[in-house]
Amino acid sequence: MANVLVVHGGGPTAVMNSSLYGVIQYAKKRGEVQKVYGAIGGSKGILEEHLLDLLTFSEEQLKLLLETPATAIGSSRYALEKEDYQAMVGIFQKYEIQYVLLNGGNGTMDTCGKIYEACKGTDIRVVGIPKTIDNDIAVTDHTPGYGSAARYIAATTAEVGADVKSLPIHVCIIEAMGRNAGWITAASALARKKPGDAPHLIYLPERAFCEKEFLEDVSQLYKEKGGVVVVVSEGLKDRDGVPIVPPVYRSGRSVYYGDVSAYLATLVMKELGIKARSEKPGICGRASIAWQSPLDREEAVLAGEEALKAAMEGQSGVMVGFIRKETPDLSYQMEVRMIPIQEVMLHERILPKEYQNDRGNDVTEKFIEWCRPLIGPKLRDFIDFQEYLHT
Cα(287)–Cα(23) distance, integer angstroms? 21
For the bound state, the minimum distance from the C-beta of residue 384 to its own copies, rounded and expressed in Å, comes to 6
For β-strands 2-8 and 334-340, DSSP reports them as: unpaired
φ, ψ for residue 51, nearest 5 deg: -115, 130
DSSP assignments along 182-236, one per residue: -HHHHHGGGG-SSTTPSPSEEE-TTS---HHHHHHHHHHHHHHHS-EEEEEETT-
Q: Does residue 40 interact with its own copies by CB under 8 A? A: yes
Does 224 sit near its own copies (CB under 8 A)?
A: no
Q: How far is the CB of 256 from its own copies (least distance, A)?
A: 6
Binding residue for its own copies, selected from 22, 35, 43, 69, defined by CB under 8 A? 69
- Comparing CA positions, the residue from 112, 146, 141, 147 lying closest to residue 126 is 112
User: 294-312 and 146-166 helices cross at what angle (nearest 10)?
Assistant: 170
Question: Which of 214-233 are b and which e, b meaning 16 or more Cβ less than 10 Å from the residue's Cβ?
Answer: bbebbbebbeebebbbbbbb
Q: Is 270 in the site for its own copies (CB under 8 A)?
A: yes
248 in contact with its own copies (CB under 8 A): yes
* Interaction of residue 294 with its own copies, rule CB under 8 A: no
- Tell which one of 279, 299, 306, 362 touches its own copies (CB under 8 A): 279
- Which of residues 70 and 91 has its CB atom nearest to its own copies in the complex? 70
Q: Are 16 and 300 in contact (CB under 8 A)?
A: yes
Total number of residues that touch its own copies (CB under 8 A)? 79
The residue among 268 and 351 lying less far from its own copies, judged by its C-beta, is 268
Stretch that binds its own copies, among 158-166, 217-225, 316-324, 332-340 (CB under 8 A): 158-166
167 interacts with its own copies by CB under 8 A? yes
Q: Which stretch binds its own copies (CB under 8 A): 10-18, 109-117, 214-222, 359-367?
A: 10-18
CB nearer to its own copies: give 70 or 368: 70
For its own copies, the closer of residues 202 and 276 by Cβ is 276
- Per CB under 8 A, the segment of 33-41, 124-132, 187-195, 332-340 that binds its own copies is 33-41
Residue tagged active-site, from 53, 84, 123, 134: 134
The C-alpha atoms of residue 197 and residue 86 are separated, in whole angstroms, by: 55
Task: For residue 215, give every residue at least 6 positions away whose Cβ sits within 8 Å of its Cβ, in sequence order, or none.
Answer: 267, 268, 271, 272
Rounded CA separation 229/222 (Å): 10
- Looking at 154, 160, 191, 301, which residue binds its own copies (CB under 8 A)? 160
Q: Which of residues 180-209 bind its own copies (CB under 8 A)?
A: none
Pairing of strands 33-39, 51-53: antiparallel
By CB under 8 A, tell whether 50 contacts its own copies: yes
The one segment of 98-106, 140-148, 248-256, 347-355 that binds its own copies by CB under 8 A: 248-256
CA 32 to CA 300: how far, in whole Å?
Answer: 23
Q: How far apart are CA 221 and CA 148, in angstroms?
A: 30
Binders in 311-370 for its own copies, by CB under 8 A: none
Which of 61, 86, 122, 333 is the binder for its own copies (CB under 8 A)? 61
Residue 134 designated active-site: yes
Query: What length is written for the chain?
Result: 391
Positions annotated as catalytic residues are 134
